[in-house]
Amino acid sequence: MKHRYLKNVTTLKLGQSKCTGCGRCIEVCPHQVLAIVDSKCSIIDKDSCIECGACVKNCPFNALEVRPGVGCAAAVIKSWFTGEEPSCDCSSSGGCCS
């Protein structure tokens, strides 16, 4: 079964105009978040992104952005291991983990 995280919380962003369609990000993504559609990278399953940053590190054209390990998705994952309530930077501003 595929992992699912909170909807629309990942910080993943794609600047498709910079993308050459090389496919490197797709090779390294552990959760099949990305795919080549019409010769360009496309985010096909955003809510499966765990903000690991592998795609960003491996994109030769800086077409991808993510804040690895600081977003709500990371907070939720950490809570699974610690058994505590999810807590991340956005709680003070009334975000999803407050």
Decide if residue 20 touches ligand SF4 (CB under 6 A): yes
Distance CA 53, CA 70 (A): 11
**By C-beta, is 50 or 97 nearer to ligand SF4?**
50
Decide if residue 74 touches ligand SF4 (CB under 6 A): no
Q: Which stretch binds ligand SF4 (CB under 6 A): 1-9, 56-64, 75-83, 85-93?
A: 56-64
Q: Are 5 and 53 in contact (CB under 8 A)?
A: no
Decide if residue 23 touches ligand SF4 (CB under 6 A): yes
Of 39, 33, 38, 42, the closest CA to residue 73 belongs to: 33
